[in-house]
Amino acid sequence: MTKKVDLFSKCSANMGYTIKFIFRTLEKGNNPTGYLYLLKIENRKKKYKSLGLPPLREKDWDDKRQRVRKHDNIDPEVWNSAIEQTQKDFINDGGTLKTLAERTDTRSFLQFIDKLLSGPKFKTKHGTRTKYLTVVKKLKSYLTSKHRIDLQFNDLTVDFLDDFQAYMLEKGMTQNSATHYLKVLQTFVKRSMLDREFMNTHNPFVNFKFEKKEVRLKETLTREEIVMLLDTPIQDPRLDQARNMFLFQFFTGGMRVSDLLTLRFRNLTDGKLSYRMLKTQHPIEFELTETHLDLLARVHEFEPKGDPRPFGQLAIETLEQRRSEFEMDLDVKEAVDPKEPIPYRPPMSWLKNRPLYVFLEEVDFHNMFGFSGATVDEYIVTMDLQTIRKTITEVEHLIETKGRRKISRTRSWPDYLYSKKKDLFPLFLERLQKREAEQRMKFYATVTEELHQLGTSAKSKNAFVFPRLHEEDFEAVLNNDNFSGATEIQYRKINRASIVYNRHLKQLQEHLGMKKTLKTHLPRTSFTNLMMKGKVNHRDISNTLGHSSISVTDEYLKTGFTNDGVNSVIKGTSDDFKSE
């Protein structure tokens, strides 16, 4: 090899100029990287020409031998072969400086793309591969319109890219989509420059100017709309399940639909949600909140354990037992003091689902904290957790409005009733809140225990939490911690389930009369928007969304979201100057 370099130097010297390969540093530091250039000195003037080869570490370049050293991460034969070919072309072209890309290159760009997408790097990245194939299909459609069946590397010019972009826009594609397609082509070109077989040195995107993206605000849900989704009763079980899945996505940090559909009970143990994102393999773990447990209880209709009887029947039987105990206590008291009047005792059928305002009007509340206090407790114990919460809200509203509120469209709360019993409302509220706390702790402990048992049992741990997929279709990957090894057929099943889920969300939107489009990505944008309003730092937002890097998060946030921070700064500045 050294002889070839000497011949190269001799030939160039005879022509009246000196030529040499040099390394020019790109990044300084302990281990600087850079590019190889061709230096031509003629009449004391220097001319540099990049070889167009990928970046190289300085320590891998042997300046004395004018060759790349052997290294584990570099195949020196490929690099040195390219350098030798440049030498030959330089001599044959009479000392004209040309990069490898400026020589005739008849290798097929389409063949490289096919090789890349069918290779190991995309073996499990079915989603990305599918999106890339869509771009390739559009590129082939463009070539067909030009009566061509192939595309060589040397055909990739700025004029070609401009023409391809114009074609896409003519076909009705938006500028944002056309730019996205061109950036996918740019990805292919960059990968070809690192491929040892192709070693492409030509990148037309260096001189290509991408059109600026049209910034459109991403659709997000307001806090009020989320509350409406939480509280609105829905009778249709399909739409109710879609609603609960949608809310679970939102309250799980904007969970991707692929992660929602592949979530299994094994991911819900020890009171935690722990899984690895399908798209980025980013690990996620956090404690399940009461909201998560509420939603999961809705989906799976969890009930307190330990008794096979329905909860409503169990409550009534408990009341009957307490009634019996109360009557025994009453008999004892009457024996002690026969003159003590017996308080009003409504029949059991009266307690069941009795409206609050009727209860407050008819029960002798003045005795509720004395011997006859069981009356109020019996009324409360007939309520499930949801009813208790609703009653608490109702009593709080009564106290706040001083009784001036409507019971229905035609009836209002009687003034005399509020005046007569207003002092007892706070005490009644206290009992309700105490019962709610007891029920809540018991309920959430039950749901947490149920989820843990399902997540650790061999029979149920691999079952899907939201039943949109069939376990038998995923037997090969169910025992893994994630679905990164899913086949293309399995990926299509996940995609199909996502389409059906989106269809149900559309029906849910129509059922609720919402103007905003309910779709699987909306929980992600809505949660992100709330994080930004809450001034959560970008690092925490990035970790919550599971982005591969903070730069991805920055790109995601700078387009499509309202920046309340800017509004706050501008308004604050204006207010400051007003006060001067």
Q: Which two tokens stand for residue 128?
A: 């990305």
Task: Give the whole-angstrom CA distance, residue 61 versus residue 501.
Answer: 56
| pLDDT at 268 (0 to 100) | 93
Of residues 19 and 364, the one with the higher pLDDT is: 19
Q: How confident is the model at residue 18 (pLDDT cuts 50, 70, 90)?
A: confident
Q: Over pLDDT 90: what percentage of the chain?
A: 19
Helical pair 374-381 and 311-336, crossing angle rounded to 10 deg: 170
Q: Which two tokens stand for residue 322?
A: 């307490």
Burial 313-340 (b: 16+ CB within 10 A, else e): eebbeebeeebeebeeebeeeeeeeeee
Mean pLDDT of 526-547: 71
Do the Cβ atoms of 261 and 283 come closer than 8 Å? no
Q: How confident is the model at residue 549 (pLDDT cuts 50, 70, 90)?
A: low
Query: Which long-range contacts (C-beta less than 8 Å, at least 24 apart) are formed by 323-326?
Result: 323/348, 323/378, 326/374
- Mean pLDDT is lowest, of 329-333, 374-378, 530-534, for 329-333
* Residues 70-129: tens digit of each pLDDT: 776 667 777 787 787 777 777 666 656 555 555 545 678 998 999 999 988 888 788 888
Using DSSP bridges, classify how beta strands 56-57 and 45-50 pair: parallel, antiparallel or unpaired. Answer: unpaired
DSSP 336-376: H-TTSPPPP---HHHHTT--HHHHHHHS-GGGTTTTTTHHH
Do the Cβ atoms of 440 and 290 come closer than 8 Å? yes
Q: How confident is the model at residue 33 (pLDDT cuts 50, 70, 90)?
A: confident
Say which CATH topology domain 109-207 has.
DNA polymerase; domain 1 (1.10.150)
User: Positive or negative CA dihedral for 224, 225, 226, 231?
Assistant: positive
User: Positive or negative CA dihedral for 484, 487, 492, 494?
Assistant: negative
Task: Give the whole-angstrom CA distance, residue 109 versus residue 68.
Answer: 27
Report the 10 Å Cβ neighbour count for 524: 20
Q: Which residue carries 């997408």 as its tokens? A: 117
Give the contacts of 488 (CB within 8 A, at least 6 positions apart). 126
Residue type present at position 497: A
Do the Cβ atoms of 455 and 300 come closer than 8 Å? no
Do the Cβ atoms of 249 and 257 come closer than 8 Å? yes
Do the Cβ atoms of 234 and 245 come closer than 8 Å? no
Domain 223-301+462-566 has CATH 1.10.443.10: yes
Element (H, E) at 148: none
Collapsing DSSP to helix, strand or coil, 17 comes out as: strand
- Mean pLDDT is lowest, of 56-60, 94-98, 528-532, for 94-98
Distance of CA 147 to the CA centre of its chain: 43
Q: Is the confidence at residue 350, as pLDDT, over 60?
A: no
| pLDDT at 397 (0 to 100) | 76
Q: What CA dihedral angle connects 449, 454, 458 and 459, to 10 degrees?
A: 140
Q: Over pLDDT 70: what percentage of the chain?
A: 66
- Mean pLDDT is lowest, of 13-22, 394-403, 420-429, 560-569, for 560-569
Number of alpha carbons in the 13 Å side-chain half-sphere of residue 178: 21
Q: Which two tokens stand for residue 185?
A: 């082509």
Task: Give the whole-angstrom CA distance, residue 398 versus residue 408.
Answer: 14
* Residues 405-438: tens digit of each pLDDT: 555 555 555 566 667 667 777 877 888 888 888 8
Task: Give the whole-angstrom CA distance, residue 90 versus residue 93.
Answer: 5
Q: Is the confidence at residue 327, as pLDDT, over 90?
A: no
Q: Which two tokens stand for residue 31?
A: 């281990």
* Residues 442-487: tens digit of each pLDDT: 888 888 998 998 899 888 898 899 988 888 888 878 777 777 778 8
Q: With helix as H, strand as E and coil as C, how does 481-522 read?
A: CCCCCCCHHHHHHHHHHHHHHHHHHHHHHHHHCCCCCCCCCH
Element (H, E) at 579: none
Element (H, E) at 64: none
Do the Cβ atoms of 38 and 49 come closer than 8 Å? yes
Of residues 76 and 138, the one with the higher pLDDT is: 138
Q: How confident is the model at residue 561 (pLDDT cuts 50, 70, 90)?
A: low
Same CATH topology for 109-207 and 223-301+462-566? no
Which residue stretches of 402-487 are H helix? 415-421, 425-456
| pLDDT at 556 (0 to 100) | 58
Q: Which two tokens stand for residue 86?
A: 């440049």
Mean pLDDT of 149-169: 91
Q: What CA dihedral angle connects 58, 62, 63 and 68, to 10 degrees?
A: -80
Distance spanning both ends of the chain, measured CA to CA: 79
Helical pair 522-533 and 550-558, crossing angle rounded to 10 deg: 90
* Residues 228-254: tens digit of each pLDDT: 898 888 889 899 999 999 999 988 888
* Residues 278-307: tens digit of each pLDDT: 888 888 888 888 888 888 988 887 654 444
* Domain spans, the chain: 2-102, 109-207, 223-301+462-566, 311-441
DSSP percent split of the chain into helix, strand, coil, nearest 5: 55, 10, 35
Where are the strands (E) in 189-296, listed by range? 272-276, 283-287
| pLDDT at 400 (0 to 100) | 78
Q: Which residue carries 């407790």 as its tokens? A: 377
Gyration radius of the chain over CA positions: 36
Q: Which two tokens stand for residue 416?
A: 């005399």
